[in-house]
Structure 1
């Protein structure tokens, strides 16, 4: 899947396409600024400075208090938005016109504005990733799941994960900590929509994703306006709370669909395979040594079921057989082999660990990035059955 475009962000002074951090000559020799980082923010105690400045110099208005703060700094033309998203505000150079250390606060606000615009663009990227991936899973596993059994909230989790990878500053990072930072911001300020009464249209996912995009983008726009209009020192939505601790003080870079896809695709394919198989009625048939074993052993079980089954022997006379079956109870060795070959799953993970999960869902508002996360792939369990 090729990247459609970049989620653009306004240029931060000194930030080249290579991520360099040197400041430009203009303004730097007469007004040297320090590296744009959270460490600089902490060193200069900018949270304290900005709180005191706002208290002394900014009177809360009914709207656009971010612009009021910028004006108090001496930047009356610093408009992050006049008519919604897709506008970019520019902090200029150090001391041109805003003096240090206030300029760092303005840079952080500029980066927040860029981040919100990037979120808006990333929603379209996320829709494309989901729309292209799910039909491939259905075709890959040779199944035809019905359209009225998989709650849409599962795809909203995937969308939240994808846009959660958009970094506040710098390049896209795929680590769990980077995702957590983005998800926490999104859940705290964006309030993603959740269609509790809709189901995945497996037969036409691409068309259905338009509704998801509209819902998410409207929430991003509302979140943007909420922060823009809140008193700057509001404890929840004020811009000083949003940029606190220097989270947005850095060097912005563009984000592409390929960047986001790289971070989430493997785990989404595993998760999506589980959703599609569940919708088709694929499940796990479980039997253990407390049922009549007829003298059979784990070795016999593995030989009998082939790729469709797995057997775990604890070495103390107890063993458990798990077989992947369709809704009619027939073993599905072909599907299991495809899960092994194309999705990186093992019989131990897809079958044995699945039973241990007992239908638990490790996803809350988002998906884990590691495709090997236990319980990411889950299937329902049949009542216990005899081994053969």
Structure 2
């Protein structure tokens, strides 16, 4: 066994970084045995050096991350800063100085993953990022390595714990969106500004990363269709229950039937209670992968939090450290298919549309004609009326998203339609 330690620079020491440092210290002997050499925390770059960080030698603390990476003895950098800059510049600096990188930065990887992979390959180094997608859940490596000989056709999952907690509370207690969000904030599941979570930005970044791995093609954050969940209401959940469904914020990645393109999208959707994802509760994540030979696989577990995310970071650290000792690198970017990402209008699925309409004869026929004129077939209709007002709930057969959008636009122009209360896709059937 090699006795000279592999030296690690920790960039960022917040919730995740402090847990990484703790595990590296408390499990040092086990990590040495698993890797074949000791790993030593050689420096910790932070913004606020005066903050007390329990268990970390103050002599390791620095505010100059660039100098830490350039000092000449660092083997591996762990980046848990988040955001685009300075994380991007620091990872680039690490590669330029012969340092492999472990990152948990979903936003950066979704935006600039191709460039970072190219830089790692140019310098013969590793870029690992298991923690960027689903916290503690092993997902990136199984898709990138265990399923490397298979063909993945579809990935559908819950990849944001905050939104799943909110929707689960709305479903199980009948709470409204704001009430469920307030509870999530009080329990620490939601940030003071929850926009990245509830508007789907966090899930969209993860979707871009997963799509690239699943389909061996480059998918950027801008390629992912995104809808938030702030408009989901108690009435939507009531309708879902009548259909034997619940509502989840889903990331859905699909290969076209002809294999010539892919789609990537994030939005709330109704899914049947019989689907495995419907039973994912609280702040848990789960991802359903459909592969040609392996069939259907489901990955489930805590998708956020300091300790779970640190677990994924340490798993990558062990893998990268082993590669260093073997003077090898693990799998890099696989983008050989170069498949185009189709627009949302090409996506084919079912829809649940709730309309506020005038309660008078002929309304249903007028609405049905509008659907037919746009090539959208109706599966079921439910109507309730009182005092000249009525609600009309239409569930369609599968249709292209563009056709549904055209239908809704036409419905809004009808004198008998007072408003389109909600539009929800129906998935997982």
Compute the TM-score of the two structures, normalised by the length of structure 2.
0.24
| Structure with the higher helix share, 1 or 2 | 1
Higher relative CO (CA 8 A, sep ≥ 6), structure 1 or 2?
1
Compute the TM-score of the two structures, normalised by the length of structure 1.
0.26
